[in-house]
A and B are shown apart, each in its own frame.
Chain A
């Protein structure tokens, strides 16, 4: 169980580094263990979307449930990020 929020920005750099270094075609973010995401956390998903898009990597966010799903739906991130259930 975890939270993705304002204080996690440093960890984002590691994930972006991971995307930069690898030559993957698909990048799947599994949020099933996440129980809370705040606006900064949503911002991190947007950053990752842009990072993967510029590298022609297909990013998929999956497993969002409960409050996390609700936050993602409210912000309509599905309009720019591929969300799988």
Chain B
């Protein structure tokens, strides 16, 4: 990468040398290169104090000095995290291989030969200062992005139902609700929500935008705004998805889309009515008949044109009985597609047994053992965002 010649005028250099003549000639050389902010010290101990006081961008350091020599000073600097990256250039006699090795071992970045050759000296100083500038720019950039991502992540989390809300909705509708949400990087493209529609009906939505990271996350914010504008109250889930699809098609560029599940649970009729747009197959459990061996667990068909791909998309409603003691398990594709080195991904077909095993370990809150099993096999960081929602009707 080509680096534009850096102006040295705003760089600060500390010269540490017990010989006044050397200090003056070094200063003369680097002043000609445009460095005007120069401080001096006469031995290592003074040098350390000057580093703290003057905050140089580079130190030109002599080796042999009274009180504290240059090697000791450099070693002391390197032990301090604040000065780990401070460039130190030793002045050494070029013919002493051994001394040069000692300078590097003490933590020096480079050396300039004595007697000072102005061209070489300026070139090496410039090289170190440019490296430092690139490094600090990159570090500052990284820090800023990290800070913004942390902030954005909190915003994304705030789009999802918090645990107090889960408890509130669960109590109102006689449900057990547990949820897990983890993004593969700081931000993700998964979204889910609970939408009370009067006292006996509850809407359940899960959406997964293609890809992950910042682009997908921006789409979840778009979605959140759209949902508020699309009332669910007097509409079949399929109709609502048609509207959401049209709205997303308007804003999503080609190639970006979302899979979705939208269902309405009616407590009065014990029916779950849903429409899907290519989400992974939800798991429906219905309580065992008296004398039966455990609940009946099956995958529901969730094929449907993904959201945002075509304005003409149509969706189909399905209704299934979800009586007391029954459950619905929704998840994003990471659950079945993320595997590890030893065991591959779970795969769609294994999900019913995966749920059955978890229920055997924790009848009330099987999401916990499910996540334990998932994380035991999956390599981290996850390749995709994981969302999993357990919604069961209390018996």
Contact = CB atoms under 8 A, between A and B. Distances in A.
Given A38-B333, A76-B306, A43 B211 contact: yes
B211 A46 contact: no
Contact of B255 (A5, A46, A70, A74): A46
Interface in A59-78: 67, 70, 73-77
B310 A74 contact: no
Contacts of A38: 333, 337, 383-384
B305 interface: yes
Contact of B303 (A5, A6, A74): A74
Interface of B: 208, 210-212, 254-257, 259, 278, 280, 302-306, 309-310, 312-313, 333, 337, 347-348, 383-384
Contacts of A40: 210-211
Contact of B306 (A47, A67, A75): A75
Main secondary structure of the interface of B (DSSP, over half): loop
Contact of B208 (A6, A39, A67): A39
A47 B254 contact: yes
Contacts of B278: 74-76
B211 A39 contact: yes
Interface string A3-14: 001100000000
Given A43-B255, A43-B257, A50-B254, A76 B211 contact: no
Nearest to A76: B305
A79 interface: yes
A80 interface: yes
5 contacts: A39-B257, A47-B254, A75-B259, A76-B306, A79-B312
Contacts of A80: 305, 309-310
B33 to A, nearest CB: 42
A44 B212 CA distance: 14
A29 interface: no
A42 B255 CA distance: 8
A6 B211 contact: yes
Nearest to A12: B255
Contacts, number: 65
Interface of A: 5-6, 36, 38-40, 42-44, 46-47, 50, 67, 70, 73-77, 79-80
B347 to A, nearest CB: 8
Contacts of B302: 74
- Please indicate which of the listed interface residues A38, A39, A73, A79 has the most CB atoms of chain B within 10 Å of its own CB: A39
A75 B277 CA distance: 7
A74 B257 CA distance: 14
A77 B277 CA distance: 11
Given A43-B255, A43-B256, A75-B278, 18 more contacts: A6-B211, A36-B337, A38-B337, A39-B257, A42-B306, A43-B211, A44-B255, A46-B255, A46-B257, A50-B254, A74-B278, A74-B302, A75-B257, A75-B303, A77-B305, A79-B305, A79-B312, A80-B310
A36 B158 CA distance: 33
Contacts of A6: 211-212, 383-384
A39 B280 CA distance: 11
B331 to A, nearest CB: 14
Contacts of B313: 79
Contact of A39 (B259, B305, B310): B259
A29 B110 CA distance: 56
A6 B384 CA distance: 9
B244 to A, nearest CB: 16
A75 B305 contact: yes
Contacts of A73: 303
A42 B305 CA distance: 12
A26 B337 CA distance: 33
Nearest to A81: B309
